Amino acid sequence: MEQAETGDRHGLKRDLGVWSAASIVVGTVIGSGIFLVPNAMIKSTGSPLMVYAVWIAGGLLSLFGALSYAELAAALPQAGGEYVYLKEAYGPLWGFLYGWTQMWVAKSGSIATLATGFFIYLANFRPELEGVWTTIPLPLGENGAPLEIRYGQLLAIVVIALLAALNYVGVKVGGNVQVVVTVIKVALIGAIIVIGLGSSAGSVANFRSAIPAVGGAAGFFAALVAALWAYDGWNNVGMVASEVKHPQRNLPLALIAGTLAVIAIYLAANVAYFYVLTASEVAATPRVAGAMMGRILGSRGAGAVSLAAMISIFAALNGSILSGSRVPFAMARDGLFFRSIGYIHPTFRTPGVSILALNLWAALLVLSGRYDQLYTYVIFASVILYGMATASVIVLRFRRPDLHRPYRTIGYPFVPLAFVLGIASLVVSTLIKSPRESLMGLGIISLGLPFYYYWRSRLNRTNSGSPALH
């Protein structure tokens, strides 16, 4: 029992309590999306009421996913999250493809995006960060131009390095940072909501405003994609399951409570936005929260939103680094990735090499400036893997009826089926709308296949007693 709760002397250490686990959910989900995506959503739907409907639909889908993942996380409290669930339900190939995507594009691209977003908001206070530090005379920039390295990109890399170092020296350090920054973030967003709802500049009539928009099913699904992007990240706590205390209790609690908290915050924030701004005003500015606070408090209000966004992004960035490094680590421990990535620091008991490798690659993506394009390409395939991971709740009920399940999904099988159907609708919609990007994303992921078969064959030789290649 002691080993199950604290980890063995040579493995990862269970140092994350329920507050740290819940803060990974809340802190990783709430990044910059809540400040930005209402603009895209109103353009797609046309009215505040439809925007609320989309937020509720996206929140319910995310909650259904969290309810399903809660069963998986409690039954399989190992490092890697979806990597573990896909491997157990469908075999190691699917787990590998998920991990491959996370390492090279999805998680590393997310880290690069968040770090860059941090410097963009900071540039509101320090415009010199937008200046060019140096130019690399190679056709690596936009449209084959020389690659420009800005001071802000260097700052973004410094922030990544700082958080990587904090998480390197102990999961408890990273968890405590996550709790503190998430509390500050929620308090600041709460203050923005209260100021908005209490402002004399607001009007209930704004809720009845409307603009010309795509509308219909096409508009709804386009807005839902934006909402789900803002909700994305609730699943990350499963990646650190092997370091959560009492995982059978704390993981379901963190997943469900954290997701519900995010839904409540998002709905309250949008009530405040549309109380102060009309539909046309929300559609006219990409920085909705900044426009709302600017209306109430002038430049001081817009500056306060930039500060809140920076802290919000910082928390999401730390949560992504903390959780994302456990996926390549889990692959390496199974013999399906570079052996050194599975190294555990003997003193800090963290996957030190995996943390360094993931963040070094993310830093290179920051310099390249191509992370957002890569991330767009793999969204399609990543959504498919999300759906498959949720469906594994049903698959494992049949394949592993013997598996100890301390928590069972509420509303099974309808809840996981509803999530899978929602994901399937998004997949079809995305394929129709962006066939080129979707197919390119599948192509990027398929590049992992030869590496999988190489590591798989090496593992088979090792298991059969033959010398492995090094």
Q: What is the pLDDT of residues 305-363, one digit of tens each?
A: 989 999 999 999 999 999 999 999 999 999 999 999 999 999 999 999 999 999 999 99
Cα(337)–Cα(47) distance, integer angstroms? 48
Cα(238)–Cα(74) distance, integer angstroms? 9
For residue 123, the model assigns a pLDDT of 85
Cα(292)–Cα(299) distance, integer angstroms? 11
pTM, 2 dp: 0.89
Q: Structural domains in the chain?
A: 14-462 (1.20.1740.10)
For residue 168, the model assigns a pLDDT of 96
Cis peptide before 413 (omega within 30 of 0): yes
Cα(278)–Cα(129) distance, integer angstroms? 33
For residue 7, the model assigns a pLDDT of 44
For residue 269, the model assigns a pLDDT of 95
Query: Is the Cβ–Cβ distance between 235 and 80 less than 8 Å?
Result: no
Low-confidence residues in the chain, pLDDT < 70: 1-10, 139-144, 370-376, 465-470
207-259 per-position pLDDT tens digit: 999 999 888 888 888 888 888 888 988 899 999 999 999 999 999 999 999 99
Query: Is the Cβ–Cβ distance between 390 and 377 less than 8 Å?
Result: no
For residue 469, the model assigns a pLDDT of 40
Query: Is the Cβ–Cβ distance between 430 and 438 less than 8 Å?
Result: yes
